[in-house]
Chain A
Amino acid sequence: MKLIKYLSPLWLFFLFQTTFLIAAQPIFPPVAKPFSAYNFNVKDIDGTQYKLSDYRGKVVVLNFWATWCPPCREEMPSMNRAHHKLENDNIIILAINVGEDEDTIFEFTGNYPVDFPLLMDQTGNVIKRYPVMGLPTTYIINPAGLVTHRTVGGRAWDDDTLLNELRRMQTSAGK
């Protein structure tokens, strides 16, 4: 009991310090200089046309991915959960598949059900308009159509801290 008495304050101090360090990390790394998002006009796997400018006024999470990319596959379920959590927040998730066809993406959705639009960039024309170096890369586009943040590699997109940050971006843009 005495040992617990001595350790308790130190453990609390340690926990506080750890929490502080974690909280100090930026949730989405900002891009060095915000830039205008390329206004693509592409189809999804069902043939529906999607134009980025249709989402002006909303925060858009734009993900570049491929089915063969392990971190892309890994983050897709959490992205789908995030989509459902954000349905009433005016925040849109769009995932652009790079270089693959409908059949490949359709098969992928058999194993990884996705309810947000899966767009296709078979020729690579869209990805070339963004400074993507590796997959997955995800951009956050603000309601004014500017790319403000970027993440490289998979994330747990349904994490509440991360979702609240997106909501904050959407709310602050409306003010």
Chain B
Amino acid sequence: MNTEDKQLSSIYKQAKQEIPAEHIDDAILAAAKRETKKFSLPYNPFSNTWRVSASLAAVLILSFGIVTLIEDVEDEFTLDGVTPLIIEETESRQLPANNVEKRRALAKAPSTARAKSSLQQPAAKSLSDTSNAEMTHDLLSFREQDKKRNEQLARKNKQEAQRTKLQTESTDQISLSPALPLSSPSTITTGIDEQAMLPYWQYKDEGMSIRLIQRLPDQTRGYFIARGFSAKHAELIAQSCVFQTVFKNTSNTGEPSAIVYNMENWVVSHNGKSGGMKTREKWAMQWQELNVPAAAKLAFEWGLLPTRQDYQPGDYNWGMAIFDLAPADNFNLKITWQQHNEQHSVIIPKMLCAADIHADPEAP
């Protein structure tokens, strides 16, 4: 600090502190208040209403989102928790998929031999004859083979779905009867079932959902041969068009109401012709004529989706729906049911029966 700075500093110290006069201070304050008043609205007790409205809207949107999410999660759990297809794959694994002769030979084998060769139905008494280590090894080996088989089937089905433009999720135009309230958020979706890795068609509205998942003819052969059908008779089913079906009364999440349906009223349209479903009663007559064993008939009967059913809220069934069509056929399905004292119907268009494809032979 030089001499000049020191002098200047002492002058400042001696000078009086600058404080505006009181009247100037008041004038500044008054002017400021005038300016701010220009932009403030008069007091309104409802001026904050938008916040409540916004909160309400946010809560409603969040609530709707959560409820929808819960419903979806529930669906996923129910549909995907355990699927029969993996087990059925296990059964069909015993039958070389691309070797009809071997399959027939196995079918002709004594039932005890079949039972031992099947993972699904090993004779319980034979468990004591087999060491746990061997069983574990076999199971792991089978599971690995099944996994490979599933992957192969998945690839093939994806290709098939691409060919038929079904690979990606899509929502089709819904054909609704006038009785179905237009306000109900009903949808038809198609896609690949996550567990079965096969195409599915699903209809869903506020009170009901039905999902039809393709079954490969080879799965059907394996399933029914394992339940006492001869290869010849299992082939009759396999050469039809089979879907694994899940029918649910979902009205327990909204306005509860029972569902009643009769499959005999459902209409299958194929190549410009309309017909009915091939119900368990129609099959039963055929099995009677063909002298199918009683145990096989019983397994068949309970394996199919009921022809008639009434579902209370929360009730559901799994079962096969069999159409009197051939593998790879296209068709439209009109489903009818009663709920909320109204007749409902929906047409699920462009459904496709699974083609009779076979997995490639296992790589050595």
A-to-B contact residues, CB < 8 Å: 2-3, 6-7, 10-11, 14, 24-26, 29, 66, 68-71, 73-74, 98-100, 102-104, 106-107, 122-124, 133-135, 150-155
B121 contacts A123, C-beta separation under 8 Å = no
Tell me the bound Cα distance from A103 to B309 in angstroms: 31
Tell me the bound Cα distance from A12 to B83 in angstroms: 39
Determine if B201 is an interface residue (Cβ-Cβ < 8 Å): no
Tell me the bound Cα distance from A155 to B58 in angstroms: 34
Note all chain B residues with C-beta closer than 8 A to A11. 59
A152 contacts B302, C-beta separation under 8 Å = no
A selection of 15 A-B contacts at a CB cut-off of 8 Å is: A10-B56, A26-B256, A66-B299, A68-B227, A70-B83, A102-B124, A103-B122, A122-B295, A124-B294, A134-B305, A134-B309, A134-B317, A151-B314, A152-B316, A154-B316
Of all chain B residues, the one with the shortest Cβ separation from A2 is B51
Note all chain A residues with C-beta closer than 8 A to B122. 103, 107
Q: In the complex where A103-B124, A107-B121 touch, is A135 in contact with B115 (Cβ < 8 A)?
A: no
Question: What is the minimal beta-carbon distance from A129 to any residue of chain B, in angstroms?
Answer: 15
Of all chain A residues, the one with the shortest Cβ separation from B307 is A133
Query: Which among B58, B124, B298, B299 is the interface contact of A7 at CB below 8 angstroms?
Result: B58
Q: How many residues of B contact A (CB 8 A)?
A: 46
Query: Which among A25, A107, A134, A155 is the interface contact of B306 at CB below 8 angstroms?
Result: A134
Tell me the bound Cα distance from A16 to B306 in angstroms: 38
Note all chain A residues with C-beta closer than 8 A to B307. 133
A152 contacts B317, C-beta separation under 8 Å = yes
Note all chain A residues with C-beta closer than 8 A to B108. none
B124 contacts A10, C-beta separation under 8 Å = no
Note all chain B residues with C-beta closer than 8 A to A100. 299
Query: Which among B115, B125, B223, B309 is the interface contact of A133 at CB below 8 angstroms?
Result: B309
Of all chain A residues, the one with the shortest Cβ separation from B63 is A14
Tell me the bound Cα distance from A119 to B252 in angstroms: 31
Query: Which among A6, A107, A124, A153 is the interface contact of B124 at CB below 8 angstroms?
Result: A107
Note all chain B residues with C-beta closer than 8 A to A154. 78, 316
B256 contacts A25, C-beta separation under 8 Å = yes
Note all chain A residues with C-beta closer than 8 A to B309. 133-134, 152
A7 contacts B84, C-beta separation under 8 Å = no
Determine if B265 is an interface residue (Cβ-Cβ < 8 Å): no
A29 contacts B315, C-beta separation under 8 Å = yes
Note all chain B residues with C-beta closer than 8 A to A123. 294, 298
A151 contacts B302, C-beta separation under 8 Å = no
Note all chain A residues with C-beta closer than 8 A to B256. 24-26
Note all chain B residues with C-beta closer than 8 A to A69. 84, 302, 318
Tell me the bound Cα distance from A98 to B82 in angstroms: 20
Question: What is the minimal beta-carbon distance from A99 to any residue of chain B, in angstroms?
Answer: 4
Note all chain A residues with C-beta closer than 8 A to B295. 99, 122
Of all chain A residues, the one with the shortest Cβ separation from B223 is A68
Tell me the bound Cα distance from A24 to B256 in angstroms: 9
Note all chain B residues with C-beta closer than 8 A to A25. 252, 256, 313-314
B298 contacts A98, C-beta separation under 8 Å = yes
Note all chain A residues with C-beta closer than 8 A to B306. 133-134
Tell me the bound Cα distance from A14 to B84 in angstroms: 39
Note all chain A residues with C-beta closer than 8 A to B82. 70, 73-74
Query: Which among A14, A24, A71, A104 is the interface contact of B318 at CB below 8 angstroms?
Result: A71
Question: What is the minimal beta-carbon distance from A136 to any residue of chain B, in angstroms?
Answer: 9
Tell me the bound Cα distance from A77 to B23 in angstroms: 88
Note all chain A residues with C-beta closer than 8 A to B63. 14
Of all chain A residues, the one with the shortest Cβ separation from B48 is A6
B55 contacts A106, C-beta separation under 8 Å = no
Of all chain B residues, the one with the shortest Cβ separation from A15 is B63
Determine if B137 is an interface residue (Cβ-Cβ < 8 Å): no
Note all chain A residues with C-beta closer than 8 A to B252. 25
Note all chain B residues with C-beta closer than 8 A to A68. 84, 87, 223, 227, 299, 303
B303 contacts A153, C-beta separation under 8 Å = no
B302 contacts A10, C-beta separation under 8 Å = no
Note all chain B residues with C-beta closer than 8 A to A2. 51
Query: Which among B125, B248, B314, B317 is the interface contact of A103 at CB below 8 angstroms?
Result: B125
Q: In the complex where A6-B51, A7-B55, A133-B306 touch, is A153 in contact with B315 (Cβ < 8 A)?
A: yes
Determine if B147 is an interface residue (Cβ-Cβ < 8 Å): no
Tell me the bound Cα distance from A160 to B307 in angstroms: 34
Question: What is the minimal beta-carbon distance from A118 to any residue of chain B, in angstroms?
Answer: 13
B319 contacts A134, C-beta separation under 8 Å = yes
Determine if B312 is an interface residue (Cβ-Cβ < 8 Å): yes
